């Protein structure tokens, strides 16, 4: 299950370089202009830089073959990396929130025009990402697209804060803009940790569930019902399935094998590539009576 393509690694590497360049610009700009809003946008960029780097490393680790001790391979490295990034996002959001609160009560002088200019430059890489990923229907790329869209909105807030401060002279808007950026950070962190939790709790992939799968399998000729069905995600793109199939009549081994092959093919079309199916006849009393019995 190699989900690493050369072009994907290349796109990731380009995105990493772009985010690092913008990050350095925003950190330097944030310190020079005295703008907390710019610095909070920079910490978001740092998280993005980290996420992209983790993804690139995880892709390499996940490519390693399964071993005698690690029979699933190393796909969960990606999920583990996402968890670290999510927790880091929470810590950054909290520390910026505290700093913004202090600044609201004691505003610092901000070089507002420069904040807007640097913020504007910071948007450019996001626009590149949005244009590049706009048409893809792949779920991972789609979430990267939505992320870039959110980043653009967050940077726009920083640019607007610079303009407002330049017009009104009210430095408090720097702290207010920081709060908005913190909100974006929190949304990103919660979404990330939620996705990690779904995978750690052996949840089904977002587009599939037990009923959908059982319905497809039970639609095959010869299949009566399914039970003891388990469906889980190893990483964002490897899905496992195990289940029992009750088969009509008294098929011989060759016929039963054909039904299993058809079921595996049906599941493959649904995006489930690792399947383990146990064949049973209706009169066979399954030792595992579970509530997951489904018949159509």
Under the rule (CB under 5 A), what is the footprint of Zn ion?
A: 48, 62, 75, 151, 228, 235, 244, 280, 286
- Kindly state the smallest distance separating residue 104's Cβ from Zn ion, in Å: 24
Distance CA 108, CA 141 (A): 39
Nearer to Zn ion, 139 or 280 (CB): 280
Instruction: Report the residue number whose CB is nearest to Zn ion.
Output: 286
- Kindly state the smallest distance separating residue 168's Cβ from Zn ion, in Å: 29
Nearer to Zn ion, 166 or 240 (CB): 240
Nearer to Zn ion, 104 or 237 (CB): 237
E-strand ranges in 9-133 read none
Paired strand residues for 240: 232, 274
Nearer to Zn ion, 62 or 260 (CB): 62
E-strand ranges in the chain read 223-235, 238-247, 274-280, 294-295
Paired strand residues for 230: 242
Instruction: Classify 223 as helix, strand or coil.
Output: strand
Other Cβ atoms less than 10 A from the Cβ of 226: the count is 24
> Which residue in 220, 227, 234, 235 sits closest to 267, CA to CA?
220
- Residue 35 has φ and ψ, to the nearest 5°, of -95, 120
End-to-end CA distance of the chain, in Å? Answer: 32
- Kindly state the smallest distance separating residue 189's Cβ from Zn ion, in Å: 11
Nearer to Zn ion, 82 or 165 (CB): 82
Nearer to Zn ion, 170 or 286 (CB): 286
- Kindly state the smallest distance separating residue 162's Cβ from Zn ion, in Å: 20
- Kindly state the smallest distance separating residue 86's Cβ from Zn ion, in Å: 13
Sheet holding 223-235, edge to edge: 274-280, 238-247, 223-235, 294-295
Nearer to Zn ion, 175 or 234 (CB): 234
- Kindly state the smallest distance separating residue 169's Cβ from Zn ion, in Å: 31
Instruction: Classify 247 as helix, strand or coil.
Output: strand
Distance CA 74, CA 66 (A): 7
- Kindly state the smallest distance separating residue 32's Cβ from Zn ion, in Å: 23
């Amino acid at each position: 299950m190699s989900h690493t393509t050369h072009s994907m690694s290349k796109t990731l590497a380009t995105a990493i370089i772009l985010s690092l360049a913008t990050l350095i610009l925003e950190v330097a700009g944030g310190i020079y202009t005295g703008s907390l809003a710019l610095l909070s946008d920079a910490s978001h960029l740092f998280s993005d830089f980290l996420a992209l780097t983790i993804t690139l490393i995880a892709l390499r680790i996940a490519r390693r073959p399964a071993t005698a001790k690690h029979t699933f391979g190393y796909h969960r490295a990606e999920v583990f990396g996402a968890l670290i990034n999510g927790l880091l996002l929470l810590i950054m959001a909290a520390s910026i929130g505290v700093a913004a609160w202090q600044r609201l009560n004691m505003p610092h002088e901000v070089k507002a025009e420069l904040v807007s200019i640097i913020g504007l430059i910071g948007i450019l890489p996001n626009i590149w990402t949005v244009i590049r990923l706009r048409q893809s229907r792949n779920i991972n790329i789609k979430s990267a697209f939505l992320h870039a869209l959110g980043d653009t909105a967050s940077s726009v807030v920083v640019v607007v804060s610079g303009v407002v401060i330049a017009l009104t002279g009210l430095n408090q808007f720097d702290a207010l803009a920081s709060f908005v950026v913190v909100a974006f950070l929190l949304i990103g962190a919660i979404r990330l940790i939620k996705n990690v939790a779904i995978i750690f709790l052996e949840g089904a992939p977002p587009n599939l569930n037990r009923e959908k799968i059982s319905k497809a399998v039970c639609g095959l000729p010869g299949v009566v019902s399914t039970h003891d069905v388990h469906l889980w995600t190893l990483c964002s793109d490897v899905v496992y399935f195990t289940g029992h199939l009750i088969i009509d009549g008294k098929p011989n081994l060759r016929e039963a094998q054909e039904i299993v092959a058809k079921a595996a093919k049906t599941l493959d079309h649904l995006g489930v590539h690792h399947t383990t199916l146990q064949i049973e006849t209706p009169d066979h009393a399954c030792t595992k009576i579970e509530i997951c019995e489904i018949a159509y």
